[in-house]
Every structure is written in C-alpha cells, then in structure tokens.
Chains A and B, each alone.
Chain A
Amino acid sequence: MKGTLGRAFATPWIWSFVGALAVWLAAVFFTGGYGAGGMLTAALSLAVFTVVVGVGQMFVITLGPGNVDLSLPANIGLASAVAMTVMAGDDGRILLGLAAALACGLAIGAANYLLIWALRIPPIIATLSASFVIQSIDISYGRGLQIKPPPGFADFTNIQVLGIPILAVLTVLFTVGAGLALQRTIFGRSVLAIGQNMRAARLAGIRVNRVRFATYALSGTLGGIDGALLAGYFRGANVDIGNEYLLASIAVVVIGGTSVAGGKANVPGLWGAALFLVLLLTMLNTFGVSAGVRLVLTGLIIVAVITAAGGAEAAR
C-alpha cells in the first residue's frame, strides 16, 4: 500500500478539492478576509444536500452507460411536501415525517425500476416519464401548501458546533458508510461489476436485476430524505425546491471522478465537487455579478471542468 498516497494525487477527484479551495481563496481575497469562516460554514450546510443526492446518483451512474436518475428533482419536491404534511409542524411527529419522506422516495425509486424492467426502456426515459408524473402529483398535492417545519426539525437542520453544521458531520459519516458499502460489501461490489460489464456480471452469478432494483431504490430513498432535509433547512416545502439538483447531482458525480461509463465510483470526490459548486456560487455572489452573468459563468465553468477532467478518459 505504499503507492496509495501517490495514486490519490493522481486521481482526478483531488482536483475538485483544489478547485473548491481556489474559489474560496478568490472569494476571501475579494472580501479582504472578511467572512472567510462564515463562507465555509454556509458552503458545508448547502453542500450536504448535493452530497446526499449525489451519493444516490453516483450508485446509479456506476451501473453503466445510460443509467441516470432524472427523477430526483421531482422526487425531492414531492418528498418535501409529504414530509411537511406528515410532520404538520409538530415536534413529536418529526420521525414519522422523515419515515414518510423515506417511504415516498423509496416508492419512487421502486417505480422507476419497475418501468425500466417491465418496459425494457433506457433508464433516462423511464426516470423522465416517472418525473413527469411525480411532478404533476406534487403540483396537485403541494399547491399552496404552507406548512412550516416543526421548530425542532428546522433547528436540527441549522444547528452548528464551532461553525460546523451537525448535518454536515452526519453526512460525512454517511458518505464514509457509503464508501465502505461501495468497496467492501457484496452490494457495492456487484454495482461496480455490473457497471464494468453487465453480461460478465450476470454470468458470474450476480443477480443483476435485484442489484439494479436496489440501486434505483437507494437513489429514490436518498432523494426522499433530501427533500425532507431541504424543507427543514429552508423552512417550508416547495414544488421547485429540488430543481437545481438535476444538474448538481450529475455534475458532482462526474466532477468528483466517477466514470460516466460506469464501473468506477468515487465517494470523496463528491464532497470536493459539491463544495466546489457551492463555493463557486458564493464567490460569484461576493463579486456582486448579476443573475444572468452568474448563470453563464456557472455553466461555462462546469463545461470547462468537465473538459479538463474528461482528458484521462479520452486518452484511454
């Protein structure tokens, strides 16, 4: 294991942390050092939501080409509404609301795979059709829903110890678990094997359908829990609350060093990429640019980063 450190620096995901550091330094330099810590705290709080769905999306993308979960934004929107309705602003019902959001996400994930399996259609189309339907359910169910999260839950999603959000600490633990699950459990190894070669995996005796089902269910569940947490953090559910997580979830996976061709995943890179994206927005905000310029720059930087990171793949 002598070469581990050297290999770590050769992997593309290390650059996501370097990028995050660079944009943070640029922002701090611009403000003259003012609010440097606050920026990090805010970035950690917001990165959590991207990392949670990013983990789900990463497992799905690792299944191989064409596997992607486009239903996450709709899923997050619906789960946020379900969680807030079930909690009904009552501290005693927090766990019940979380369970409802989990169940909602799990059901969506299961429905996604049911479509993929029964109709034998590409996952992109299956999750897309599902997201149309989910979006409508959410619009119809969540219209004018103005239920505040229970005070205890809202506080929990905002709590900080020494400037570090508790939610971020929990999410770090969760990602460590996800990393172990990916590399050290039969499920994770099966996902990687299917991504490398589905036929070989099937011939090797892996129950491909069962593993794929579990992966989509996992992605859906994480979308559900993310919806509940977002509703707590932003103090209310919203149909559009998950919209930005379509690009964000895919972008953090790819920038984080997971192969789009499948079979190769990277968990630490998710954090680097999520922090990079959030700090990028923070930096552009401190520069005081208009919404249009911010969008253009975000898009261009994402394309530039993908172009730079995609080099290793092209050389193969």
Chain B
Amino acid sequence: MSASGVAAKEVSRVLGRGSTPRLLRALLPALSLALVLLAISYLNPRAISYFGFTLMLNLAVPIALATIAQMFVIAGNDLDLSIGAFVGFVGCVTATWLRETPLLGTLVLLGCIATYAGLGALIYLRNLPSIVVTLGMSFVWQGLAILLLPKPGGKAPGWLLATMSFKPPLIPFPILAAAVIAALAYVGLMRTSYGAILRGSGGNAVAIGRAGWSLLKAKMVLFACTGVFGVLSGLALIGITTSADANIGNGYTLLSIAGVILGGGEFVGGRVSPIGAVIGALTLALAASPLLTFMHIPPDWQVAANGATLIVVLAARVLISRKEAER
C-alpha cells in the first residue's frame, strides 16, 4: 500500500501548492456559474428563489449524473460517445421492467453495469479506440431501447417519483442532489488511494503498471463507475419526466462531455475535477434554457448557447494558463 500512499501524498502536495493563476483556474467553473446566475437574477429576480431553482435546475440532476459518468471515462483517457443512448435505454428499462417486475429490472440494470466493465476490459485488452467502440455501442443501446419501448410511454415506479419530487426544507432539491453527487464523486476519485491509482492510469499508465497495479482492473473500475452513474442518470431522468422514450437521452452525450471540460477536466493525463464537472453541468443546464428564455432568444439557439458557453470558458482558461506560463 506504500505506492498508493506516496501517490496520495503527491496529489495533496500538488493541490496544496496555490499560485494565483492556478487558483483562478480552479475557480473558473464556479465563476462561470456565478456569472450565469447573476445574469438570470438581473433579467428575472423572481427566478432566484426556492421554487425558481427547483424549476430551473430540475433537469440538471440527470445531466450532472451523466457528466460524472463521462468524467470517469475521461479520467482514463477515453471518451464515451454512447452515454446518451445508454441513459435512454436505462430510462426505458426503468419505465417498464423496473416498475412491473422489479427483480428483472434490477438484474438488467446490474447487467448494464457489468457490460460497461466488460467494455473497459475489451478496450484495454485489445487496445481499441474507445470513440469507435462506444459509438458502436450507442447503436446497440438505442436499438435495445427501441425494441423495449417502440413508442414513447411507460411509467416511472412510485418510489422513484417520490424521490425526485422530494422537497427538502430551505435548500431546493436539485441543489442538494448536485452537492451530494459532487461530494460522492470527489471523495471517491480524489480522496481515496485507489482513486489516485485510477487517475494515475490516465495520467501515466506505464508508471502505474510498473508500480504493480493492474491497469486492466483500473480500466474496468472506471468503466463500471461510468455504468453506475449512467444508470443513476437514467433513473433520475425518468423520475422527473415520469415516462420514457427511446430517444430521451440522446442529447446527453455531448452535454456530458461539455460539462466535464467546462468543469476543468482535460482530455489527457487523468486531469478531471468531480466538483467542477457538476458545476459545469449546472452551468450548461442554466445557460441553455432558462437564461435564453429570460433573454427572449428562441429555443433554436439553445444548442448554440452550449457551444458558445464552452468556447467562452475555454478562452478564459487559455488566458489564465498563459499567465500561469509567464510566471
């Protein structure tokens, strides 16, 4: 366990060393969220309330979960282009089998997670490009979803509806849920010794392998985590929409990648940030729909708003990094 101890110490040392641009960079996701919130409160002050947030951020919970799912794959230098279709399939299972025959539904969802772990093993053992494998898998999930639910329909299980419409005192449910998701992923990936190994498998696979850790296992764990959070995302989505549709999750693939990157994640080197990713997902959820509505911009431009948010934040990050390099 000494290797993991050293790795964990190394991580805390790097995190502890704070220079201004570095801090700024870490705060960038939070700053962009604050900016979007400021704009909303300026345009419509009434939106900044318990009910306002509950409404505006309702759909942010499944997006945040899908973003965390994507983050695990990205931490291992891979990309999951099937997460949207997967969330859709989980949704279809939730609205049909999980309600009618809970045992079968649970088994299928567990099987989905096992499939994800298997994909991780396949990608590692055969050295395959994850983009192509997951693009292929997106067809599989989509096809299965259509087979299960050819027409939109089904109904969410009662316990799920109750969970998603839970109204905690003072803090709106979506914010509470986002905080729990972020804390869970943060502790798991950033604060445990095996989390450091997982990130290390993306940062320097050779070093982790030489230190005696199984890269196969690391890849499988990362993909299984993606499966788990993908399943949670599908459950949360159906808890909100109450019924399912085979195409319900299609937009999530791109949203989740954008959320991870907005939150400070990088494509290479196992550099990801769970808290940032959740904040990124909230920013996208707010910037895409409520902000545009308040600005009276037609919904045609919703997708563009996501792209523009991404470009602006990345541009800001370049400026900060340039400062970092000048020192």
Contact = CB atoms under 8 A, between A and B. Distances in A.
- Are A and B a genuine interacting pair, yes or no? yes
Interface of A: 66, 68, 115, 118-122, 124-125, 128-133, 135-137, 139-140, 143, 246-247, 250-251, 254, 260, 290-300, 302-303, 306-307, 310-311, 313-314
A125 B146 contact: no
Contact of B254 (A128, A136, A298, A311): A128
A254 B126 CA distance: 14
Contacts of B304: 132-133, 135-137
A298 B136 CA distance: 8
A133 B307 contact: yes
Given A119-B315, A246-B135, A290-B147, A143 B300 contact: yes
Given A119-B311, A298-B143, A300-B140, 16 more contacts: A125-B257, A132-B310, A135-B303, A250-B135, A254-B129, A296-B139, A296-B144, A298-B136, A298-B139, A299-B136, A300-B136, A302-B135, A302-B136, A303-B136, A307-B128, A311-B126
Contact of A131 (B135, B136, B307): B307
Interface of B: 79, 122, 125-129, 131-133, 135-147, 150, 254, 257-258, 261, 267-268, 298, 300-308, 310-311, 314-315, 317-318, 321
Contacts, number: 146
A306 B147 contact: no
A295 B146 contact: yes
Contact of A292 (B137, B150, B302): B150
B253 to A, nearest CB: 10
Given A125-B310, A135-B304, A296-B147, A314 B126 contact: yes
A263 B150 CA distance: 43
Given A140-B298, A299-B136, A303-B136, A132 B254 contact: yes
Contacts of B317: 119
Contact of A303 (B133, B254, B267, B302): B133
A290 B150 CA distance: 10
Contacts of A291: 143, 146
